[in-house]
Amino acid sequence: MWVRPEDVLLANALWATERANPYFVMQRRKGHGGGGLTSLLIGTLDNVLDSKVKLPAPFRILLQLANSDVSYVISSASSFKEIESDWEWLTKYLLETLSNIDSDDDIKDFVKAKIESLVANCEPDEDTSTIEQETSKFKSASNRFHRLFNMPEQDKLVNYYSCSYWKGRVPRQGWLYLSVNHLCFYSFLMGKEARLVIRWTDVTSLERTNSVLLPDGIKVTTRDGEFCFSLLLHPTETFGLMEQLANLAMRQLLSQEGFEQDKSLPILTKNQGKTMKKVPTLKRDLDARAQSEYYRNLFRLPVEEKLDGHCECTLWSPHNKAHVWGTLYCSPNFLCFNSKIRQLLSVVVPMREITLVEKVDTSALIPNALHITTRSKANFLFASLRDRDYLTHLISDFLAKTPEPKYMSAIIPNALQITTCTYFKRTTNYSQKKYPMLCTSLLGQRDIGGEWELAGREQKPKKKTEFQPPLTQVFSSTPTDQITAKETVKEHLWRLHLAEYGRGVCMYRTVKTHELILKGIPDNLRAEIWLIFSGAINEIETHPGYYVSLVEQCEGKSSLAFDEIERDLHRSLPEHPAFQSDVGIGALRRVLTAYAWRNPSIGYCQAMNIVASVLLLYCTEEQAFWLLVAVCERLLPDYYNTKVVGALVDQGVFEDLTRDHLPELYDHLKDLGILNMISLSWFLTLFLSVMPFVCAVNIIDCFFYDGAKVLFQIALACLDANRTKLLSIEDDGEAMTILGAYLDHVTNRDSSIPATTMSVNNRSLGIPSPGFSTSVDVSNLILESYQKFGFITAENIESMRNTQRLKVVQGLEDSMRRNAVRSIGAESSDFDQKELEQLYAVFKTGHIQARNRGFSEVKDSTSWQQQYIDLYGFEPLFVTLTNWGKCEIADTLARRAFKVIAGDDSDLITFKGLVWGLGTICKGDVQHRLRFMYRMHIAPAITDDLEDSDGIDTCSEVTEDEQGAGVGASEPTGIPKTQKDVLVPDEATVSSSLKSRESIDRMLRSDEGNRDAVELPRMTQEQFIHLWKTMYSLFRELPNEQQMYQAIATVGNILLKLGDFAHDRNLMTDNKSAEETAQSLDSSLSERLVECAPTPSESGASSQALGPGSTGLIDSLWSISFEQFLASMLTEPYLVHYFEEQVDVIERLKRLKTEGISSFSAANTTNE
């Protein structure tokens, strides 16, 4: 690679000269490919100092003039092949020109100008460089990473850290490289190399350690063992990045969307006067993802919202007349504030609500203040902003891009006022398509409805569908004058609170808000409060008419999810009169089918019907739909899918919390296994299935406000309340009875449901059964859970989820791998069980890569039978595991082998097909391998190759090659007789057993009933030529290359004569039937084999009986059968031995994992 010329004073220090001429010197750095103590010391020094300082590349070219003490580096490279190409360019294009220049100064100026022009041509354009330019230090580390571990360019390096790896009992100082798909470590100390490669998809556990031997250490666990790293300079940052990359890999294993670099990230703060820290692009991207996820979870924002930045400031709190310190977050659609003191004060201001942004004159009390007014006349005063001008400009940019809702047109017709007297134009020709968040799938899932326009609120559906209001209003049997006094008081307190702190999404959220939530929300305000604190209000506002359109689209459609919904409709809260009628059932059907249509990856999962039915009691259909979206996609992600991974992860989190906070109870219950049983049903239904629903709705109130942490708090409080009883039992059934009875008798004394309707359905309505004296009010249960376990934060839960997700996903993968191996069976394949398991792991990686490449037929799947790999995933396995993949045409052979396995009508292969194909090539017996080789050279496998072929040798040309090989191999004087005997089994034994027709017939009959037992078409002359070219490529550079060429020449002559014989028979007159002709061919096969087989002395001169093949043209009547090919190949012991050789699959897969596919490519060898 050309570099801008740099001065070098000591040209030979630590460098060895490889080539030289009067003007240029090619040098190699000592310690790279050399020997001796000096090279060891320099190599160790380079490894230890690598990336701390900018170290030179292993190879370089200097401009070195005879009369000058200063040299100039003009090229550097990491491989000899690259530096050699630059050297050849210099000698070809500059050397002659320089010899005609007399002055050394002129030579120096000419060369420097020439090199600088080459560098300028190689540098990226100005537009691309503004997107992101890595530092030269990081680029050097990235090049070193790809070179050391033979990683493909697609596997980008994220970051690298200095650390020690404990290999056995000895720490090895080196460098830890973290890429998108791999964790790698490399160390080189005093000539000893340590190399480690771990795929993120293989990681089962990540732990922080802190001991005497492992201070600030990290322990990585895989199925193969534990790997410990210590002496990290930035342990927290390193562990956080490793955890993030491992969880990205787990999401890929779950068939979710993989990692894709966010190209828009650098543009968000472009040209805003902010100086960005020099961080690698992918590292910055991952940091931004983590911060955006935290931001969305904190304020319950839509999943596509991206955090642009945050800063420290104060917010004026009008209710207590004080400035509250906290953090201001800004994103394209929201401006949010959260106090430093937890739950003291928080605010969410959507950009669509802002009408005025005003700079306030600076004073001692409110320095650098910014005043914001919303459409609802709410005012927010932010002060102590360090960069107020930048923030104002950023908000203005976002406001200018925010679409104007129709209801704002009457208030602010054309402009949005900023106090600088500048007006930012709104989009007056607004249409719903311009909403940035308006799309058919918010989670990046596949399009479910094709192209369709959303129906606006004013548009009428063709078929009038009557959407229902909250079902408690339709089926309420409670007269207005019978509403309880407590309900009236709660409603009054809430209305006073909303009047003081604001109403709607922009309200001030304070400690008093939380206190009111704990006491329960009044029924007539429940829908509004749920929508605000869950964030569903934002999606309703930005997606007008979306629910109506979904209902219209899925009307009359049928699917498996719809059938499951129909079966569960009448099981959804059947005790409530609303779901005993068609009105409630119809509303529930529309909500569930609309969600299944919107999100087919989830579709429908049991427990969704129970949650949706309770939401419909207090909300309209559209509100219930968006609340269901919030629960399934944001508040409880991965809960409601075919694998219920989210619920399984939270099972593990609940166990860890019980162990940490109720250790005595955990030790007693862990062997009974009831913690897993109770958490799954409790969490999936939000306690609705185990508790009277009028009590569970109070828990849902807190759930929408505080998130999933509430579920863990309530569960721990239930266990703690029954601690004494649970410690005294020894049976899991008895434990479940105790907890079930406790939850059945939770009451809600504030319920507005009249007592006259409670006699039959005590369990559902929260009234204790006669004779059961112990009961607890749900408000007291919630309050107790906050008092005892309120210190558990959402951040704690998320951190524990990351740890548990690795275990859960890997457990599911182990189960799927065992099912795949068990289904195929070691008895029915050529691989043993361990080989099948490791092969499945590599296959799954190829499946993920095929899906990430966007292959249309590779869809998300939950069963191993539905997983496929494409040609790009098959090629590395073919090159790695097969001896056929070592030749120079390995890519061509891989393509043909893939076609044989996949068939003519598919571009994908399953794991079962992969096992059959590779098992045949690597471990099959000789006739199966030869049959596979034969199939690789007939249609359809070879069709594409024939079409793309530049030219085909005729049989005469092939014969000439064989003659040359035969002459050279007729007398193998270069190989001792003893070596020949070692390379080949007993020749006499092989010949006597295989040359007989009866033995061949037995082999062919043994294939009956097998997958290979398909009658193969005859091979044409053109296909035979391709087959023989393949044979010569396979045997090149083998130890017994000459003997192999002699053997293949002999067999080739036999087959050419057999093909000529078929040509002659095809030209016979039609006085014989086809059956008679076939019989005569078969009867003469053995005779022809003996007659055509040349003796060693004849192998080089048997061209006189070639027949029509010597004409130099492709003969369309020439052909051979597979039986003839097999019988001829079995006559040569060398060929039999080659095709019987077994492959150590475990060792090769291990090498592929640690060294990469490039280590298997003969063409990749370089002189380093």
Report DSSP state, residue 469: -
Q: How large is the average pLDDT for residues 1120-1136?
A: 92
Greatest CA span in the chain, whole angstroms? 117
Residue 701 has pLDDT above 80, yes or no: yes
Residue partners of 11: CB distance under 8 A and separation at least 6 = 25, 27, 62, 64, 71
pLDDT for position 405: 60
Mapping DSSP to helix (H, G, I), strand (E, B) and coil, where does residue 208 land? strand
Q: Which of 351, 381, 401 is the last residue of a domain?
A: 401
According to DSSP, the β-strands at 203-209 and 217-222 are antiparallel
Nearest alpha-carbon partner for 209 in 218, 221, 197, 220: 218
Whether 776 is in a domain gets the answer: yes
The neighbouring-strand residues paired with 173 are: 164
Integer Cα distance of 1110 and 1104 in angstroms: 9
Are 653 and 800 in the same domain? yes
Domain co-membership, 489 together with 605: yes
Domain boundary among 401, 432, 451: 401
Q: Decide if 1126 contacts 930 (C-beta within 8 A).
A: yes
What does pLDDT average to over the chain? 78
**Burial class of residue 694 (count of CB atoms within 10 Å of its CB; 0-12, 13-18, 19+):** buried
Average pLDDT of span 599-628: 93
Residue 384 shares a structural domain with residue 493: no
pTM of the model: 0.76
The arithmetic mean of pLDDT across residues 7-31, rounded, is 79
Query: Looking at the structure, do residues 314 and 382 belong to the same domain, yes or no?
Result: yes
Q: Which residue, 804, 826, 858, sits at the end of a domain? A: 804
* pLDDT confidence of residue 825: 76
**Is 183 inside any structural domain?**
yes
The least confident of 82-91, 162-171, 695-704 is 162-171
* pLDDT value, residue 1114: 62
* Element holding 674 (H helix, E strand): helix 674-684
Domain membership of residue 693 (yes or no) is yes
DSSP 8-state code for residue 210:
-
Ranges of H-type helices in 24-135: 36-49, 80-93, 95-98, 104-122, 126-131
Q: Would you state the pLDDT for residue 493?
A: 94
Output b/e per residue, 390-429; b: 16+ Cβ within 10 A. Answer: bbbebbbebbeebbbbeebeeeeeeebebeeeeeeebeee
List the structure tokens of 707. 């998130």
pLDDT, tens digit (0-9, with 9 covering 90-100), for 482-498: 567 878 888 999 999 99
Which tokens is 234 given? 């930035």
**pLDDT per position as a tens digit, 733-763:** 899 999 999 999 999 887 766 433 333 334 4
pLDDT the model gives residue 256: 53
Residue 379 has pLDDT above 60, yes or no: yes
Looking at residue 151, which CATH number applies to its domain? 2.30.29.30
Q: What is the pLDDT of residues 796-842, one digit of tens each?
A: 999 999 999 999 999 998 988 888 888 887 666 788 888 898 898 88
Q: Name the one residue in this structure whose structure tokens are 């993920």.
A: 848
Residues 319-341 have pLDDT tens digits of 889 999 999 999 999 999 999 99
Q: What is the pLDDT of residues 125-165, one digit of tens each?
A: 444 443 345 677 888 888 889 888 888 888 899 999 999 99
- Tell whether 34 and 151 lie within a shared domain: no
Listed range (834-838, 948-952, 1009-1013, 1056-1060) with the worst mean pLDDT = 948-952
pLDDT at 45: 53
Return the structure tokens found at 825. 């069976």
pLDDT above 70: residue 192: yes
Q: Domain holding 800: CATH number?
A: 1.10.472.80
Q: Which of 144-153, 585-594, 642-651, 882-891 has the highest mean pLDDT?
A: 585-594
Predicted confidence at residue 134, as pLDDT, reads 60
Kindly state whether residues 795 and 703 are assigned to the same domain: yes
Both 559 and 629 in one domain: the answer is yes
Per-residue confidence at 861, pLDDT binned at 50, 70, 90?
Answer: low
Residue 9 and residue 65 in one domain? yes
Which range has the worst mean pLDDT, 274-278, 777-781, 869-873, 936-940? 274-278
What is the rounded average pLDDT of the residues 419-429?
34
Does 1046 fall in a domain?
Answer: no
Question: Can you point out the beta strands (E) in 190-259?
Answer: 192-199, 203-209, 217-222, 225-230
Q: Are residues 539 and 602 in the same domain?
A: yes
Could you tell me if 97 and 179 lie in one domain?
Answer: no
Could you tell me if residue 207 is inside a domain?
yes
Structural domain span for residue 612: 483-633
pLDDT (tens digit, 9 = 90+) per residue, 44-71? 555 555 544 455 677 889 888 877 878 8
Cβ–Cβ under 8 Å, residues 146 and 22: no
Confidence bin at 477 (pLDDT 50/70/90): low
Asked if residue 1028 belongs to a domain, the reply is no
**What pLDDT shows up at residue 1067?**
61
Give the lowest-confidence range in 121-125, 536-540, 744-748, 1004-1008.
Answer: 1004-1008
Any domain includes 291: yes
What are 236's two structure tokens?
């927290």
Output phi, psi for 1157, to 5 deg.
Answer: -65, -25
Scored b (16 or more CB within 10 A) or e, 95-106 reads eeebeeeeeeee
Same domain? For 572 and 658 the reply is no
Most confident of 614-618, 730-734, 820-824: 614-618
Residue 994 lies in a domain: no
Verify that 608 and 663 share a domain, yes or no.
no
Element at 876 (helix H, strand E): helix 871-881
The CATH number of the domain where 501 resides is what?
1.10.8.270
Least confident of 157-171, 315-329, 696-710, 778-792: 157-171
Give pLDDT, residue 1084: 43
pLDDT on residue 435 = 30
* Higher local confidence (pLDDT), 805 or 986: 805
What is the number of domains present in the chain?
5
